[in-house]
Amino acid sequence: MQSPPPALLPLLRTPFQGEMLAWLYLHPQEETSLADIAARFGVSTATASREADRLVEAELVTERRHGNLRLLRANAIGRLAGPLTELFALTYGPIAVLGDLLLPIAGVEEARIYGSWAARYSGEHGGVPNDVDVLVVGSPDEDELYEAARKAERLLDREVNVHRVSSARWHEPGTDPFLTGIRSRPTVQLEAFERKHKG
């Protein structure tokens, strides 16, 4: 699968670097297996392993072996921990946290980021977006969505706008100018990151 250039943070070689580092730095108390990271972000284990080698060598990430598992964690005590956490929250953070916050809510069928953040993630160049727009499909409780959005704002240090639509409305293309506009531009479907391996 060919990845778009990392328009969110052009300092990086690949989007996967940003995704992996955002996940680890925005979940600093968690160890995550290399296999889970590779599966979550759609790369081979070999690719994830090479990236992990570089990050461990640079002391940005720590690792622990547990049987055949290679467990990774952000180096939360390194001098760069604070600046890197902020950097990855502002760039790749939405993909690292929003799925886990929104998808477990009862009634949520799917969730997609749209707008300027999705455009950057998809390779369109421009500045760092000031907010994140999320479309939630289904019939979840609005208060629960609001709480999840506020938690995401604290983690990402920016506004998170959640727009809820029914499944019937989302699956009727052409009937709603707002949804037609969303469909015509890049969107990023969110997934919950289920960690199967714990140390």
Domain positions in the chain are 15-93, 94-189
CATH architecture of the region 94-189: 2-Layer Sandwich (3.30)
Q: What is the mean pLDDT of residues 35-57?
A: 94
Neighbours of 78 (CB within 10 A): 14
In this model, does residue 2 exceed pLDDT 60?
Answer: no
pLDDT digits (tens, 9 = 90+) for 58-100: 999 999 999 989 999 999 998 999 999 999 999 999 999 999 9
Across the chain, mean pLDDT equals 90
Can you give the pLDDT at residue 159?
A: 96
Per-residue exposure over 137-160, b if at least 16 CB sit within 10 Å of its own CB, e if not: bbebeeeebeebbeebeebbebeb
CA dist list (Å): 151 to 76, 94, 103, 125, 158: 21, 12, 14, 28, 11
In this model, does residue 5 exceed pLDDT 70?
Answer: no
Task: Place 4 in a pLDDT band, splitting at 50, 70 and 90.
Answer: low
Can you give the pLDDT at residue 12?
A: 87
pLDDT digits (tens, 9 = 90+) for 141-198: 999 999 999 999 999 999 999 999 999 999 886 778 999 999 999 999 998 875 544 4
- CATH for 15-93 is 1.10.10.10
Q: What is the mean pLDDT of residues 118-127?
A: 90
Can you give the pLDDT at residue 3?
A: 53
pTM recorded for the entire structure: 0.84
pLDDT digits (tens, 9 = 90+) for 125-137: 888 899 999 999 9
- Percentage above 90 pLDDT, the chain: 77
Side-chain half-sphere exposure of 191, counting CA atoms within 13 A: 10
Pull the structure tokens for residue 82: 């604070």
In this model, does residue 42 exceed pLDDT 60?
Answer: yes
Interacting residues of 172 by C-beta distance below 8 A, sequence separation 6+: none
From 4, 13, 11, 15, select the one nearest 95 (Cα to Cα): 15
Can you give the pLDDT at residue 199?
A: 41
Interacting residues of 35 by C-beta distance below 8 A, sequence separation 6+: 45, 48, 69, 197
Q: What is the mean pLDDT of residues 92-113?
A: 95
Can you give the pLDDT at residue 108?
A: 97
